[in-house]
Structure 1
Amino acid sequence: MVWSLIRRRRTASGLPEPGSCGPGRHVLATERLLLFTPRTRLDVVAGLAASADAEAQRWLGTQADEVLPDPELRRRLLAWRPVGGDARRIPRILAEPYAPGPDDPLFLVCVRRSDLSYAGGLELQHVTGEMGGWLAPDCRGKGLGGELFRAGVELAHTHAGLTTVRAGAEPANTASRRALANAGFVPDRGPARHTLPDGRVIDAVWHRHDSTTARRCH
């Protein structure tokens, strides 16, 4: 299997820079994070690997076909760096370009600016205005959640043109709720029960962030 070929390599260069958005593609930065529309299959699967552990799936409930069950595979994927100018450093299938569909949610993979290691992902349903995000295990508990959701606010209001963005969380998920508050979200009304993608039904509390100056980036 091609995944067995994955090995850690040097930090890649040539990543997109903030302000270089294009049709269907966005780039944002916070103090410690860089977020961008995936350019390769590696970006996509590494973003998913960041959320595939049991702790994250307790809250996310991702569909089974999008979860990587092998912890060693997840570790190897997260040990890579995004492809720079030399795509020969990774297996060919992972270096293949990724193009989001026109109706797909906006998905941004997240890396740490200090070493370009994969740090998580951010997803915005640009039709409903609902947002979700996650961090890789090594990135949790460091205050990065607030930065991640602040980037989500920027994506919604100044890239996607949404005046309101909403996010739900399970009442017991204090880390997510604290991160949303740190990003400026306020409590909002919403369904008390929420069905996750894998079919599980959980208790839910809702948050919102509004802007009167929403616009699109291109």
Structure 2
Amino acid sequence: MLWSLVRRSRAVSRLPVPGRCDPGRHVLATERLLLFTPRTHLDVAAALAASADAEAQRWLGNHADRLVPSPATRRALLEWRPAGDDGRRVPRLLAKPFTPDPDVPVFLVCVRRADLSYAGGLQLEHRAGEVGGWLAPRCRGQGLGAELFGAGALLAHTHFGMTRVRAGAEPGNTASRRALARAGFVPDEGPPRHTLPDGRVIEAVWVRHDTTAAAHCS
């Protein structure tokens, strides 16, 4: 595996604190989840591993299965905790600091607050005003999807000043559609077809989340 081939180094401890955003970096929390801009390449790799299984790729098509092709590697990545927060040394390659790119969609890694395990990822197309997200296999079916999408709406409204944020889903993706509804998203109009990153064209239904109290975190 990757970390068996690289020299290990000491990692930073302590997770970001909600309400303390830095320029270009965001952090927020729900009842059971903590979401923050990745600090290390481990954060990014684990979040991608959470979406690399066949069930997630059926709906996402984001090529994560190519970036993390081995099921064993995916499982191993998801067994780590954010750098240093479980007392283990992180491989030097994965412990490298991650610098977000302001020209690409905003990306947050998601962990469970109870045990700090990696739980998934959240993405906000801050220019288009669209949000999407995913959960790791072991985090599905527990009602966390509603918290994840609720966090997406909160990110858009209170960190980027958006009065409206939208999300799309395939009609057959009932889990995501129910989670969006529980998060307060309501039906909206939108293109009936959507092209996934892997080139597949799918049917789409759209929902939106509105607020009259938008703000910026910094």
Aligned to 1:149: 149
* Alignment deviations for residues 22-73 of structure 1 (CA, whole Å, 9 cap, x no partner): 1000111011000000000000010010000000000000136863111000
Q: Which 10-residue stretch deviates more, 86-95 or 195-204?
A: 86-95
Partner of 1:57: 57
Number of residue pairs matched? 213
Spell out the pairing of 1:1-218 with structure 2 (5 A cutoff). 2-4=2-4, 13-63=13-63, 67-84=67-84, 89-218=89-218
Which whole-Å CA distance do the structure 1 matches of 2:91 and 2:162 have between them?
38
Stretches of structure 1 lacking an aligned partner (at least 5 in a row): 7-11
**5+ residue gaps in structure 2?**
7-11
Q: How far apart are the structure 2 equivalents of 1:64 and 1:209?
A: 27
C-alpha spacing 1:66/1:18, structure 2 compared with 1 (3 Å):
farther
Greater mean alpha carbon deviation, residues 61-70 or residues 40-49 = 61-70
> Whole-Å Cα distance in 2 between the matches of residues 5 and 75 of structure 1?
17
AA of the residue aligned to 1:89: R
CA contact (8 A) 2:61 2:196 kept: yes
SS in 2 for 1:43: helix
Question: How many Å separate the matches in 1 of 2:137 and 2:152?
Answer: 20
Checking the alignment, whether the CA contact within 8 Å between 1:3 and 1:73 is kept in structure 2 is: no
Q: TM-score, normalised by structure 1?
A: 0.93
Q: Which runs of 4+ in 1 moved over 6 A?
A: 85-88
Amino acid at match of 2:159: H
Q: Displacement, 1:215?
A: 1.0
RMSD: 1.9
Kindly tell me: are residues 113 and 88 of structure 1, through their superposed partners in 2, closer, same or farther at Cα, counting changes over 3 Å?
closer
Contact 1:15 1:84 in 2 (8 A): no
Aligned-partner Cα distance in 1 for 2:31–2:195 = 34
